[in-house]
Amino acid sequence: AMFAPTIRGEEMFVGHYGVSFAIQPAARRVPLWVWFIAVQWLDVVWSVLVLLGVEKLRIIPGFTEANALDLYYMPYTHGLPGSIILSLGFGCLVAMFTTGARMRTALLIATASFSHWVLDLVVHTHDLPLYGNSAKVGFGLWQDVALSFPLELATLGLGAWLYARATRYATAKGRYVFWGFVALLAAIQVYANFGPPPSSPDAMAITALGLYAALALLAARVERGVVFALEPIPIVPGRRV
């Protein structure tokens, strides 16, 4: 099927959400779902540009152990200058709709967004351009899924733990719902690494956009329904939150 839904082949995926969990307590005015979009913002724009035929990829099963993506042309979203511009732009956009310390909010959102490029640098092959579509970099952990897969889960888990330490829950079940959400993210990463590859570049882009939207909505539901968001709580060794 031309557009059979699949998430296999996602770039570094749930590890990015670890950053959103970790940084959100520093700016509680901005809801968690916005941070979920921020850390995937480069890939949101990338997916749109793939659908428009501006940025390009090839689906090559076995291209790396972790996924089938040959990301040979993405200078606007994953080139270093473009990623900085997109991150700053999204930070300013979010700050326009928040109150209080807008400059701080803009910088934190931009940092979360740019963290996407930094984490991609660790796992990508040489496909992240430093300028234009040239001087491409990437440490290549995708070549060894035994390294990249645990790294994804560890990054997610650390960020979720930091978020949980700075959060009080509205109900007794809130803690379990939150960690259930984190477990769902981990399960999606399992499928992303070990499920079937995308059927086409367009299918990859459409599924990515749908997934980013769905997970942002779930994050909003989890935060609104079971989490009582407070100002950051000091982390005290041995203290349960």
Distance CA 13, CA 188 (A): 9
CB count within 10 Å of CB 96 equals 10
CA distance 52 to 61: 23
Write the CB contacts of 9 (distance below 8 Å, at least 6 apart in sequence). Answer: 59, 67, 68, 69, 192, 197, 198, 204
pLDDT for 225? 73
pLDDT of residue 204: 94
Packing angle of the helix pair 201-226, 174-194 (nearest 10 deg): 170
- Find the helix or strand (DSSP H, E) in which 120 lies: helix 102-123
pTM of the predicted structure, to 2 decimals: 0.89
| % of the chain exceeding 70 in pLDDT | 89
Tokens of 116: 């996407």
Q: Which two tokens stand for residue 105?
A: 């909010």
Q: What Å distances lie between residue 37 and 76, 145, 177, CA to CA?
A: 18, 26, 21
| In contact, 199 and 6? CB cutoff 8 Å | yes
Q: Which residue has the tokens 């719902």?
A: 177
Per-residue pLDDT of the chain (241 residues; tens, 9 = 90+): 333 344 544 555 899 999 999 999 998 889 999 999 999 999 999 999 999 999 999 999 999 999 999 999 999 999 999 999 999 999 999 999 998 889 999 999 999 999 999 999 999 999 999 999 999 999 999 999 999 999 999 999 999 999 999 888 888 788 899 999 999 999 999 998 888 888 999 999 999 999 999 999 999 999 987 766 554 444 444 444 4
Radius of gyration of the chain measured on its C-alpha atoms: 18
Task: Find tokens 């035994």 and name the residue.
Answer: 146
Query: For residues 57 and 201, is the Cβ–Cβ distance under 8 A?
Result: yes
Q: What's residue 224's pLDDT?
A: 83
